């Protein structure tokens, strides 16, 4: 081989190496761009927030329950806090919404399941707080469309932000999840970092995509109108939805049924046969949900799930005795009145403060010092 041939080959090899590098870099940057691109519009900033400290009037139920007022403090002392797992942030708060429509879109529908999920990437720990859908709350941006009425049920806040004809009471790209997020912040001091909304059809499809779930039906009340009997069952998506929607014993019992289904889904998703399929599941459903997560953040959550002890997943509800069912006649669209839950929001904010701080509910039921903790929290078995 002559020197000229060697030189030509060397140049061609260099060009090939450069092309491979360029193609590789292009693929890498495209992948990173996709991974870090939100799947939907971000949540809006709250127009106003509650004070950082809420005090309880002596003699109120909250004071008698031993709730504490948390006063923010600043410490400059060095700490040895472990780094967050899976490349995530130290803490993340997610607004999870279950929409009541069986459709392929999110034009309409009430936010019938409203839960706030506190994700601790350091401990690791996940706590889920349920908000009753029938709370009568102040909803921002709706008064001009409802003849001055600025209140509604909590589940209506989601509906009023959706783009369906007759609604879309505000024009923010985050739509219903954004308006519901602002409503929770305004009334209870809940600030969400991200949101995830799923309708009934998508929920069924997700359960079917993981080849169903296994639950143990504990009693006849849970089995009511589901076609199931007491005992262990393998459920498909439609059956799981029936259990989750069963409210034969009331709204608060329905929350327990939903927790039963969620624990079963968690167990199935993190099984060895399913966990490797999580990225593909994310891609297959990204067009059928409302969320502002990026694929990278969803992968971080999936990663955390594989390292999360089952006892570090807790579901919390406000004590049932804090709520009274009453009928009001403020909404002209319902001349016969609306049944709502009446409650002292100052007391609810005290619970939210403890939830935000990660001290309620406690990690284990045996750490509870009062019946209040045991009656308002549950853990995956």
| CB atoms inside a 10 Å sphere around CB 339 | 11
Average pLDDT score, the chain: 81
pLDDT at 182 exceeding the cut of 60: yes
Confidence at residue 106, expressed as pLDDT on a 0 to 100 scale:
83
The DSSP H or E segment spanning 275 is helix 272-275
| CB atoms inside a 10 Å sphere around CB 368 | 15
Quick check: 307 and 124 in contact, CB under 8 A? yes
- Among candidate residues 372, 292, 259, 230, the one with its CA nearest the CA of residue 40: 292
- Among candidate residues 127, 156, 189, the one with its CA nearest the CA of residue 317: 127
Structure tokens at 12: 């061609």
Confidence at residue 127, expressed as pLDDT on a 0 to 100 scale:
95
Architecture of the domain defined by 36-191+294-306+316-379 = 2-Layer Sandwich (3.30)
- Among candidate residues 184, 157, 185, 186, the one with its CA nearest the CA of residue 170: 157
- Give dist(CA 362, CA 370) in Å, integer: 11
Distances (CA, A) of 201 to 26, 105, 176: 37, 10, 18
| Contacting residues for 139 by C-beta, under 8 A, at least 6 apart | 150, 151, 152, 156, 157, 160, 179, 183
pLDDT at 111 exceeding the cut of 80: yes
pLDDT at 152 exceeding the cut of 70: yes
More confident residue, 194 or 372: 194
What's the pLDDT tens digit per position in 116-135? 999 999 999 999 999 999 99
- Give dist(CA 242, CA 236) in Å, integer: 10
Quick check: 193 and 43 in contact, CB under 8 A? yes
pLDDT at 374 exceeding the cut of 60: no
| Contacting residues for 204 by C-beta, under 8 A, at least 6 apart | 236, 237, 238, 240, 241
Question: pTM for the whole thing?
Answer: 0.80
| Contacting residues for 288 by C-beta, under 8 A, at least 6 apart | 104, 202, 205
pLDDT at 375 exceeding the cut of 90: no
Give the chain's largest Cα–Cα span: 99
| Contacting residues for 219 by C-beta, under 8 A, at least 6 apart | 230
Confidence at residue 93, expressed as pLDDT on a 0 to 100 scale:
97
Residue 247's pLDDT band (cuts 50, 70, 90):
confident
Structure tokens at 133: 């859908």
Radius of gyration of the chain (CA): 24
Distances (CA, A) of 32 to 36, 187, 282, 297: 6, 38, 16, 12
């Amino acid at each position: 081989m002559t020197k000229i041939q060697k030189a030509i080959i060397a140049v061609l090899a260099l060009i090939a190496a450069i092309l491979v590098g360029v193609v590789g870099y292009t693929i890498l940057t495209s992948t990173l761009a996709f991974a870090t691109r939100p799947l939907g519009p971000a949540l809006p900033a709250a127009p106003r927030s509650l004070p950082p400290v809420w005090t309880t009037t002596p003699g109120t139920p909250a004071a008698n329950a031993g709730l504490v007022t948390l006063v923010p403090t600043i410490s400059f002392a060095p700490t040895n806090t472990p780094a967050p797992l899976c490349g995530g942030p130290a803490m993340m708060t997610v607004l999870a919404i279950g929409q009541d429509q069986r459709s392929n879109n999110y034009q309409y529908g009430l936010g019938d399941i409203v839960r706030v999920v506190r994700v601790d990437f350091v401990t690791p720990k996940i706590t889920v707080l349920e908000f009753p859908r029938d709370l009568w709350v102040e909803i921002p941006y709706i008064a001009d469309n409802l003849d001055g009425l600025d209140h509604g049920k909590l589940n209506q806040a989601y509906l009023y932000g959706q783009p369906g004809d007759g609604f879309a009471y505000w024009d923010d790209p985050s739509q219903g999840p954004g308006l519901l997020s602002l409503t929770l912040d305004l009334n209870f001091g809940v600030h969400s970092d991200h949101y995830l909304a799923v309708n009934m059809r998508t929920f069924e499809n997700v359960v079917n995509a993981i080849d169903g779930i296994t639950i143990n039906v504990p009693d006849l009340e849970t089995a009511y109108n589901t076609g199931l009997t007491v005992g262990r069952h393998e459920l498909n998506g439609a059956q799981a939805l029936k259990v989750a929607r069963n409210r034969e014993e009331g709204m608060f019992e329905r929350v327990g049924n939903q927790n039963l289904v969620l624990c079963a889904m968690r167990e199935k998703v993190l099984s060895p046969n399913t966990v490797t399929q999580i990225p593909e599941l994310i891609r297959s459903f990204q067009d059928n949900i409302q969320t502002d997560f990026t694929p990278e953040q969803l992968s971080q959550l999936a990663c955390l799930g594989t390292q999360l002890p089952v006892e570090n997943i807790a579901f919390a509800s406000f004590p049932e005795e804090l709520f009274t069912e009453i009928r009001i006649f403020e909404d002209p669209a319902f001349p016969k009145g609306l049944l709502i839950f009446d409650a002292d929001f100052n007391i609810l904010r005290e619970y939210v403060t403890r939830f935000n701080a990660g001290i309620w509910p406690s990690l284990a039921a045996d750490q509870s010092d009062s019946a209040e903790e045991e009656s308002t929290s549950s853990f995956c078995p």
